[in-house]
Chains A and B, each alone.
Chain A
Amino acid sequence: MLVIFRWIRNQAYPLLYILLLLSAVTQIFRYHFYQHSIYFGHALGVHRNIDKWRTGITSYFKLRTTNEQLVRENGLLRNQLNWNLTSNSPNGALSYKDTFTKTLIKYKYIPARVIRNSVNEQNNFIVLDRGYKDGIKKHMSVICPMGIVGVVVESAAHYSLVMSVLNSKFEITPYFYNLKISQGVISWNGEDPNYLDLEEVNRFVKLKNGMKLYTSNYSLLFPAGIPIGTIEKSESNLKSNFYSIKVKLATDFSQLDVVTVVKNIHQNELDVLNKFIPSEEGGAHD
Chain B
Amino acid sequence: MIEVGRFIVVGLFLALIQTLIFKEVNIAWWIKPMPYVYLFLILPLSSNRFGVLIGAFFFGLTIDAFGGSLGMHTAACVTTVFVKNYIDLYFLDENSMQLQGMRYMQIDYKGWQWYSIYTFGILFIHHLVYFIFDYFSWTSLFTILFVSIFSALASLLSIQIFRLLMGHK
Contacts and interface: CB of A to CB of B under 8 A. Distances in A.
B60 A13 contact: no
Given A35-B133, A38-B137, A28 B50 contact: no
A25 B53 CA distance: 16
Contacts, number: 58
A34 interface: yes
B50 A24 contact: no
Interface residues on A, range: 20 to 34
B75 A21 contact: yes
A32 B135 CA distance: 11
Interface residues on B, range: 10 to 19
A1 interface: no
Given A17-B78, A21-B79, A35-B133, A28 B53 contact: no
B49 interface: yes
B57 A12 contact: no
Interface string A11-26: 0111011001101111
Contacts of A29: 71
A25 B57 contact: no
Indicate the member of A12, A16, A20, A34 with the most B CB atoms within 10 Å: A20
A31 interface: yes
A11 B64 CA distance: 28
Indicate the member of A13, A14, A24 with the most B CB atoms within 10 Å: A24
Interface of B: 49-50, 53-54, 57, 60, 64, 70-72, 74-75, 78-79, 82, 85, 133, 136-137
Interface of A: 12-14, 16-17, 20-21, 23-32, 34-35, 38-39
